[in-house]
């Protein structure tokens, strides 16, 4: 397993097709999904030789918290369907490696399950805003009780993007026993055996609130009924007051929105297009990053996600103004391939790639990486 792509191939063989494709797809034509990776590849690095790079470190901080490298695990729904107890395994791998883990509202394992299995090591919780404010308040209280050290509020899913793969696959949690599914599951014995022993097979945080929601059509209908499309900046301020701790706003692509995020008292924002799963046709996150970083200045921390598959990508994001990055699919491939060990392997791969790339660019400390590690595009290019 030498690169993230190796783990993706193993995950593809091991995870039932509907759950694998839930991860490995984007919305509508998938043009934004593809642009996320492509635009990273188009940025060229500037090699710098004969500098003393014998002592190097990629360790830094995110929200003042020490991290082994500027990479956090992004919130991802249904992670417990990539591998039994997936959220617990990923949280443990992140804890042991020294990077933050974010639990999604739409996780399979509940907040309390993850807290119990990580020795109450702090993790972050991601919140979707729903119409039922009493339910939001109860989730915030549960996140506090579970010792979560930051709240990520996702702003780019007021309605759900249409993902063709999920519709075609009849995605459901747990999978429906159709002939096609049974054949598919028969090929994935390791996954099936793991699931037999797992504690949860439905949405742990919102159970009771999602009765009758098991397939993608009912989930989309539930989301559109529950998620609050009237969400405004006033609600963000309300959540900030209610939570009282560090608040991260996720899903910003626009400089004007970024300034609003600063005005709302956010502690960090994430330049993200939800991994190309929401507004197809939006720019890649790496392309949107410089304007947002410039608009925010040094006011709050700017992070990015969407398309990060390697340490080179982390370095490029850093060069364009992202103090931190988050990975979604990259860690999910590791999880689907080898569980906790697979997530650890992905983190090791990315850290090594980051360290070596930094060395080739003649830098010794990740905090010294700036736009000068990139080659300016040729005029008109
Ligand atoms: C996501 N993402 C996401 N974001 C969020 O705020 N809450 C969620 O529940 C989910 N669920 C989810 C499921 C899956 C399968 C994926 C791939 C993504 C978006 C995620 O946090 C992040 O923005 C992207 O994954 C980043 O893009 P890459 O790294 O996957 O390219």
CATH number of 4-373: 3.20.20.70
Residue pair 62/301 in contact by the 8 Å Cβ criterion: yes
Q: Which of the four pLDDT bands, split at 50, 70 and 90, describes residue 172?
A: confident
Output the pLDDT for position 223.
82
State whether the beta carbon of 26 lies less than 6 angstroms from ligand 1: no
Of 21, 40, 77, best ligand 1 pocket probe by most atoms within 8 Å of the beta carbon: 77
State whether the beta carbon of 306 lies less than 6 angstroms from ligand 1: yes
Bridge pairing between strands 65-67 and 268-271? unpaired
Report CA(68)–ligand 1 centroid distance (Å).
22
Q: Is 308 left (phi over 0), alpha (psi -120 to 50) or beta?
A: beta
**Residue 200 pLDDT > 90, yes or no?**
no
For atom 2 of ligand 1, which residue has the closest CA?
Answer: 76
Output the pLDDT for position 378.
62
**Residue 380 pLDDT > 60, yes or no?**
no
Output the pLDDT for position 173.
84
**Residue 170 pLDDT > 90, yes or no?**
no
Q: Cβ–Cβ contacts within 10 Å for residue 279, how many? A: 16
Residues whose CB falls within 8 Å of the CB of residue 85, separated by 6 or more in sequence, listed in order: 109, 113, 117, 194, 198, 199
State whether the beta carbon of 60 lies less than 6 angstroms from ligand 1: no
**Residue 63 pLDDT > 70, yes or no?**
yes
Output the pLDDT for position 379.
64
* Low-confidence winner among 14-28, 77-91, 179-193, 213-227 (lowest mean pLDDT): 213-227
Residue pair 69/58 in contact by the 8 Å Cβ criterion: yes
Longest distance between any two alpha carbons in the chain, whole Å: 63
Q: Is 199 helix (H, G, I), strand (E, B) or coil?
A: coil
Bridge pairing between strands 71-73 and 65-67? unpaired
- What does the angle CA 43 – CA 357 – CA 348 come to, to the nearest 5 degrees? 115
Q: Binding site for glyoxylate: residue ranges?
A: 22, 128, 163, 274, 277
Residue pair 155/128 in contact by the 8 Å Cβ criterion: no
Q: What is the pLDDT of residues 4-51, one digit of tens each?
A: 999 999 999 999 999 999 999 999 999 999 999 999 999 999 999 999
**27, 42, 43, 195 from 212: Cα distances, Å:** 25, 45, 46, 21
Output the pLDDT for position 207.
79
Q: In the predicted model, what is the mean pLDDT of residues 74-103?
A: 97
Domain coordinates in residue numbering, the chain: 4-373
Element (H or E) spanning 61, and its range? Answer: strand 60-62
State whether the beta carbon of 307 lies less than 6 angstroms from ligand 1: yes
Bridge pairing between strands 102-103 and 71-73? unpaired
Q: Is 170 left (phi over 0), alpha (psi -120 to 50) or beta?
A: left
What residues act catalytically? 274
Task: Using a cut of 0.90, tell me whether the model's pTM lies above it.
Answer: yes
Q: What percent of the chain has pLDDT over 90?
A: 83
Q: Binding site: residue ranges?
A: 22, 75-77, 104, 126, 128, 154, 163, 250, 272, 274, 277, 305-309, 328-329
Tokens in use for 210?
A: 């999602």
* Low-confidence winner among 94-103, 162-171, 184-193, 211-220 (lowest mean pLDDT): 211-220
Taking the CA of residue 270 as reference, the ligand 1 atom at the shortest distance is 23
Output the pLDDT for position 209.
79
Q: Is 335 helix (H, G, I), strand (E, B) or coil?
A: helix
Question: What is the distance between the alpha carbons of residues 313 and 3, in angstroms, rounded to a whole number?
Answer: 13
**Residue 377 pLDDT > 80, yes or no?**
no
Question: Which of 117, 146, 118 lies closest to 126, judged by CA?
Answer: 146
Bridge pairing between strands 65-67 and 60-62? antiparallel
Report CA(277)–ligand 1 centroid distance (Å).
8
Q: What is the pLDDT of residues 242-283, one digit of tens each?
A: 999 999 999 999 999 999 999 999 999 999 999 999 999 999
State whether the beta carbon of 329 lies less than 6 angstroms from ligand 1: yes
State whether the beta carbon of 25 lies less than 6 angstroms from ligand 1: no
Q: Which of the four pLDDT bands, split at 50, 70 and 90, describes residue 128?
A: very high
**14, 120, 187, 307 from 95: Cα distances, Å:** 25, 10, 32, 23
* Low-confidence winner among 76-85, 169-178, 355-364 (lowest mean pLDDT): 169-178
Question: What is the distance between the alpha carbons of residues 85 and 262, in angstroms, rounded to a whole number?
Answer: 36
């Amino acid at each position: 397993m030498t690169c993230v792509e190796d783990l993706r191939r193993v995950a593809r063989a091991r995870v039932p097709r509907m759950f694998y494709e839930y991860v490995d797809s984007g919305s509508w034509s998938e043009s934004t999904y593809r642009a996320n990776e492509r635009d990273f590849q188009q940025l060229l690095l500037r090699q710098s030789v004969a500098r003393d790079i014998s002592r190097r470190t990629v360790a830094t901080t995110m929200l003042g918290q020490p991290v082994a490298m500027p990479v956090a695990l992004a919130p991802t729904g249904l992670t417990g369907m990539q591998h039994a107890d997936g959220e617990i395994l990923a949280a443990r791998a992140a804890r042991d490696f020294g990077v933050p883990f974010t639990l999604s509202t739409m996780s399979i394992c509940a907040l309390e399950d993850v807290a119990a299995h990580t020795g109450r090591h702090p993790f972050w919780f991601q919140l979707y805003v729903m119409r039922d404010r009493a339910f939001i308040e109860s989730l915030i209280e549960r996140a506090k009780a579970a010792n979560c050290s930051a709240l990520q509020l996702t702003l780019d899913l007021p309605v759900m993007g249409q993902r063709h793969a999920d519709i075609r696959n009849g995605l459901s949690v747990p999978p429906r026993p159709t002939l096609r599914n049974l054949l598919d599951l028969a090929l994935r014995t390791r996954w099936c055996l793991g699931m037999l022993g797992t504690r949860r097979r439905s949405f742990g945080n919102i159970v009771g609130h999602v009765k009758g929601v098991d397939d993608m059509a009912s989930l989309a209908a539930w989301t559109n009924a529950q998620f609050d499309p009237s969400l405004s900046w006033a609600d963000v301020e309300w959540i900030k007051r209610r939570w009282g701790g560090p608040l991260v706003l996720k899903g910003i692509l626009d400089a004007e929105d970024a300034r609003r995020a600063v005005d709302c008292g956010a502690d960090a924002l994430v330049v993200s297009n939800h991994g190309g799963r929401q507004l197809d046709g939006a720019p890649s996150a790496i392309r949107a990053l410089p304007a947002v970083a410039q608009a925010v200045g040094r006011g709050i921390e700017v992070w990015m996600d969407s398309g990060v598959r390697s340490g080179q990508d982390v370095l490029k994001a850093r060069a364009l103004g992202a103090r931190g990055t988050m990975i979604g699919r990259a860690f999910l491939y590791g999880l689907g391939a080898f569980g906790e060990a697979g997530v650890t392997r992905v983190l090791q791969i990315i850290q090594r790639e980051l360290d070596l790339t930094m060395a080739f660019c003649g830098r010794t400390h990740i905090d010294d990486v700036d736009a000068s590690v990139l080659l300016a595009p040729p005029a008109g290019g």
